[in-house]
């Protein structure tokens, strides 16, 4: 019984994983098409598949690292600082992230002011979600 449950859970996990991989593959494919059209170069399907596989594994590594960084800073939630620490390797990416984070902070401040004035909490969540999405 337990084995079956575990097996089912694993299957579900695997299924979920496959879905994620498929989503990543699709996104990578779209991006590669844009780059190909931009550079006027063609990319084979194997290449796109390889890139998507690498991206997926790298995302796993990122997640683990982010969790480690957050734990290292004795926090339970992943912060923008953790993300910046993760992206420190590539300067361009780090720049981009810092810029975005600054923009986000500015937006946050202005929005906070508005919210404080309006005392409307609902706008914070979508703003944060948007900010997080832009950061990532």
Partner 1 sequence: MADSDISDNEPTTRTLLRRVLDTEAPRTPRRRQSTRAGVQRTPLGTPFSMRLRSQTKTTAGRQPHRARSIGRLAHIQTRGQLKEQTPRTLLENILLTAPESSMVMPESAVKPVPAPQVVQFSRRESSPGSLELQLPELNAPTTLAPGRLTSGRRKKRLRLSEFQQGMDQGLPLSQGPVTEPPGNTGASSLSSSLNLTFATPLLPQSVQRPGLARRPPTRRAVDVGIFLQDLQDTSVATALPGDRTPVATLPTDTVLEDTQPFSQPLIGRSPSVHHSLPYPSLSAERTVSRRTRSSGPGLQNNSPGKPAQLLAGKAEEVDALAMGFPNTSSSTSGEDGVEPLLGGVGEEVEERMEESMSLSEVKEAAGAQASARAEEPEAHTEVAEAEGSWGAIEEKEPEGSSRDKDTEARPELASSTPEFPRARQLEFLEPAPPTSTAVGLFRQQFIPAPSLSSEPLEPLSARLPTRVQTARPRLRQDSYKMGLSHYAKLFSFYAKMPMEKKALEMVEKCLDKYFQRLCDDLDVFAAHAGRKTVRLEDLELLMRRQGLVTDRVSLHVLVEQHLPLEYRQLLIPCAFSGNTVFPAQ
Q: How far is the CB of 54 from partner 1 (least distance, A)?
A: 17
Q: How far is the CB of 65 from partner 1 (least distance, A)?
A: 7
2 to each of 10, 12, 14, 16, how far by Cα in Å? Answer: 12, 15, 18, 20
Which CB sits closer to partner 1, 81 or 118? 81
How near is the Cβ of 69 to partner 1 at its closest, in Å? 7
CB 100 within 8 A of CB 62: no
State how far Cα 87 lies from the chain centre.
12
Q: Is 65 in the site for partner 1 (CB under 8 A)?
A: yes
Q: Is 77 helix (H, G, I), strand (E, B) or coil?
A: coil
Compute how many residues bind partner 1; rule: CB under 8 A. Answer: 10
28: closest CA among 53, 3, 10? 53
Residue ranges in 77-136 that form contacts with partner 1 under rule CB under 8 A: 81-82, 85, 88
Report the nearest approach of partner 1 to the CB of residue 78 (Å).
Answer: 12
Distance CA 23, CA 45 (A): 15
Residue of the chain from 50, 68, 106, 132 that contacts partner 1 (CB under 8 A): 68
Residues of this chain that interact with partner 1 (CB under 8 A) are 65, 68-69, 72-74, 81-82, 85, 88
């Amino acid at each position: 019984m337990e084995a079956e449950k575990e097996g089912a859970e694993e299957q579900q996990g695997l299924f979920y994983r496959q879905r994620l991989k498929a989503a990543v593959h699709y996104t990578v494919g779209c991006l590669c098409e844009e780059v190909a059209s931009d550079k006027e170069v063609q990319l084979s399907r194997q290449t796109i598949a390889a890139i998507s596989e690498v991206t997926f594994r790298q995302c796993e590594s990122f997640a683990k690292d982010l969790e480690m960084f957050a734990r290292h800073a004795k926090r339970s939630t992943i912060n923008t600082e953790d993300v910046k620490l993760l992206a420190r390797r590539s300067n361009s990416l780090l720049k981009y992230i810092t810029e975005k984070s600054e923009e986000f902070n500015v937006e946050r401040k202005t929005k906070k002011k508005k919210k404080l004035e309006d005392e409307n909490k609902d706008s914070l969540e979508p703003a944060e979600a948007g900010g997080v999405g832009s950061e990532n």
